[in-house]
């Protein structure tokens, strides 16, 4: 989803993206207005002398042409509301029918747990394998095995926070093969080596073209990305747009925009990377991105059913274990955990597998397409899902036409006031071409297929 500069009848510039049913547009100096079938707004900048017309409005997937967008904006206020109602009903109808669809890339098998264990956590059964040698630099051996995947409602977390667990139910049994995983998120230093060797240009650095957006004036074709921009006053938490801005010139070299840089940030996780960017790095490094199941198996560190990668207490003995948000979200982060924003990698204790920052700091890409009903689909097959790779197609009922991958781990913006997705079993999501200043990635490497490690599986899986 690439965003372009447009003008609307209220005389303001807007960066416009795809439809979000039931959201609202905030127009500076005017107020909030409901939106529906046509568009949603990430940020607004500057005044314009050319009101009453749309320059261009079109997603990367081509769902909205300038002509159609112009028509939407000229319709009356109440007509737009009516269209929004119809759109919402249609989205719910699509979601309902999707529950009956095929679960996609997964092998089903019987195992230590079956459908009778749905919704409950059972012990992790690690594979009895020996790590092949030599070990890849900067990576940790993950033996793989069978575990309970998903999340339940922790009793001490608010309803708002644990809305994050809705698409992470039911808890179900999964088996994954052994693999290597990066100890930390990929850093700016590492990503810079990749760019120097390949001359790769990330999506956020690429200027949108007239071919991508026919009819768009040249001044509207600006490269940039999404940045957390805290408001100076409390805002409702049911709409993310007041604290998310599309910033011209924001990219991995300038994470918060053109006035920021990477000086002193070599060991910080690289951010503002889209899914194709992360995948390109992984291929260059001789690795790949993890599946969602591999990521959660590794994040749990062998612990079954715990809230966090380290256990059930958020701050055991008063110790900070992850970089999250303290203070009043999204207005002010006090930085009580040591950082008021993104932190360098490995500043907090690792989990029992030796992996750092599997909760908080920055989100991490996985290879799975996102569907809110995917765990229900897996559970319906019964038995143990072996090496699941996600559904065949993506679907997010709030943005039905967007192609999204699963994010995991949460970020420095996560808090029990808003999302709580540092809870280990919970899921995030993101459109594949969109990066942010709190989204990064780490890589995995499959076990050597010719090594004895693959053959030495536990008795439960021979």
Instruction: Output the pLDDT for position 158.
Output: 56
Which has the higher per-residue pLDDT, 213 or 263? 263
C-alpha pair distances (Å), 240 with each of 55, 273, 338? 25, 20, 25
Segment 308-332 mean pLDDT: 94
Q: How many residues does the chain have?
A: 462
| 107: pLDDT strictly greater than 70 | no
- Residue of 425 and 37 predicted with greater confidence: 425
CA 254 to chain centre: 20
Does 229 score more than 80 pLDDT? yes
Model confidence over 184-209: pLDDT tens digits?
A: 999 999 999 999 999 999 999 999 88
**What percent of the chain clears pLDDT 90, i.e. is strictly above it?**
56
pLDDT surpassing 70 at residue 21: no
Decide if 274 contacts 194 (C-beta within 8 A): no
The answer to whether the CB of 61 falls within 8 A of the CB of 403 is yes
Per-residue model confidence (pLDDT) at position 384: 96
Cβ density class 334-346: b for 16+ within 10 Å, e for less: eeebebbbbbbbb
CA distances from 42 to 4, 244, 245, 247 (A): 10, 6, 5, 10
The two structure tokens encoding residue 47: 């005044």
pLDDT category at 330 given cuts 50, 70, 90 is: confident
What confidence score (pLDDT) does residue 415 get? 87
Residue 68: CB partners within 8 Å, gap ≥ 6?
Answer: 38
Inform me whether the pLDDT recorded for 444 exceeds 70: yes
Give 99's pLDDT tier (boundaries 50, 70, 90): very low
Evaluate whether 441 touches 403 at the Cβ level (below 8 Å): no
Domains by residue range for the chain, with CATH: 1-98+204-250 (no CATH), 102-190+262-461 (3.90.1580.10)
Distance CA(161)–CA(176), nearest Å, equals 29
Q: How many Cβ atoms from other residues are within 10 Å of residue 281's Cβ?
A: 24
Residue 16: Cβ within 10 Å count = 29
Quick one: average pLDDT of 365-381? 96
Ranges 222-231, 258-267, 335-344: which has the least confidence: 222-231
As a whole number, mean pLDDT of residues 384-390 equals 97
Residue 40 pairs with which residues in a beta bridge?
A: 17
DSSP lists the bridge partners of residue 449 as none
pLDDT above 70 covers a percentage of the chain that reads: 69
- Given a cut of 80, is residue 95 above it in pLDDT? no
SS3 434: coil
| Strand ordering across the sheet containing 428-431 | 428-431, 404-408, 363-369, 439-440
Distance CA 442, CA 282 (A): 8
pLDDT digit string, tens, across residues 52-66 = 222 223 232 333 333
Scan for tokens 């994954």, then name that residue.
176
Higher pLDDT, 235 or 425: 425
Task: Summarize the confidence of residues 263-269 as an average pLDDT.
Answer: 98
Contact 58, 65 (CB under 8 A): yes
Of the candidates 422, 268, 270, the one whose C-alpha atom is nearest the C-alpha of residue 343 is: 268
Q: Are 212 and 421 in contact (CB under 8 A)?
A: no
Of 35-44, 154-163, 328-337, 416-425, the least confident: 35-44
pTM value is: 0.75
Which of 28, 16, 5 is closest to 231 using CA atoms? 28
Q: Which of 6-10, 208-212, 244-248, 304-308 has the highest average model confidence (pLDDT)?
A: 304-308
Across the chain, mean pLDDT equals: 77
Quick count: other Cβ atoms within 10 Å of Cβ 438?
24
**Average pLDDT of span 286-309:** 97
Measure the CA dihedral 171/389/133/125, to 10°: 20
């Amino acid at each position: 989803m690439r965003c372009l500069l447009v003008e609307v009848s209220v005389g303001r510039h807007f960066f416009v993206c795809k439809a979000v049913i039931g959201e609202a547009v905030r127009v500076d100096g005017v107020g909030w207005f409901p939106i529906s079938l046509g568009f949603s707004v990430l940020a607004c900048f500057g005044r314009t002398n050319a009101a009453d017309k749309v320059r261009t409005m079109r997603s990367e997937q081509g769902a909205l042409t300038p002509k159609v967008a112009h028509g939407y904006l000229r319709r009356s206020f109440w007509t737009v509301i009516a269209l929004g109602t119809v759109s919402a009903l249609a989205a719910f109808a699509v979601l309902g029918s999707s529950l009956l669809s095929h679960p996609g890339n997964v092998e089903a098998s019987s195992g230590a747990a079956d459908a009778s264990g749905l919704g409950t956590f059972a012990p992790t059964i690690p594979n009895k394998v020996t790590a092949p040698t030599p070990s890849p630099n900067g990576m940790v051996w993950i033996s793989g095995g069978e575990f309970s995947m998903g999340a339940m409602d922790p009793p001490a977390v608010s309803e708002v926070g644990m809305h994050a667990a809705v698409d992470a139910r039911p808890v179900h049994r999964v088996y994954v093969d052994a693999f290597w995983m990066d100890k930390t998120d990929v850093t700016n230093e590492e990503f810079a080596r990749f760019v120097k060797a390949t001359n790769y240009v990330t999506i956020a650095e690429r200027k949108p073209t007239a071919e991508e957006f026919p009819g768009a004036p040249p001044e509207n074709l600006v490269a940039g990305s999404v940045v957390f921009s805290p408001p100076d006053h409390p805002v409702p938490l049911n709409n993310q747009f007041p604290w998310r801005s599309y910033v011209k010139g924001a990219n991995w070299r300038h994470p918060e925009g053109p006035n920021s840089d990477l000086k002193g940030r070599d060991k910080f996780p690289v951010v503002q990377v889209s899914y194709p960017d992360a995948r390109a790095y992984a291929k260059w490094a001789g690795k790949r991105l993890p599946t969602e199941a591999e990521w959660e198996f590794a994040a749990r560190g062998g612990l079954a059913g715990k809230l966090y990668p380290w256990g059930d207490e958020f701050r055991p003995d008063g110790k900070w274990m992850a970089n999250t948000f303290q203070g009043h979200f999204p207005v002010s982060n006090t930085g009580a955990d040591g950082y008021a924003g993104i932190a360098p990698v490995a500043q907090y204790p690792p989990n029992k597998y030796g992996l750092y920052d599997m909760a908080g700091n920055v989100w991490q890409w996985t290879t799975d397409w996102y569907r809110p009903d995917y765990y229900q689909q897996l559970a319906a097959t019964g038995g143990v899902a072996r090496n699941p790779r996600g559904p065949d197609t993506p679907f997010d009922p709030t943005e039905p036409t967007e192609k999204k991958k699963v994010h995991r781990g949460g970020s420095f913006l996560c808090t029990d006031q808003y999302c709580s997705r540092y809870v280990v079993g919970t899921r995030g999501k993101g459109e594949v071409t969109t990066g942010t200043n709190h989204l990064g990635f780490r890589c995995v490497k499959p076990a050597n297929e010719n090594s004895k490690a693959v053959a030495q599986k536990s008795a439960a899986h021979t």
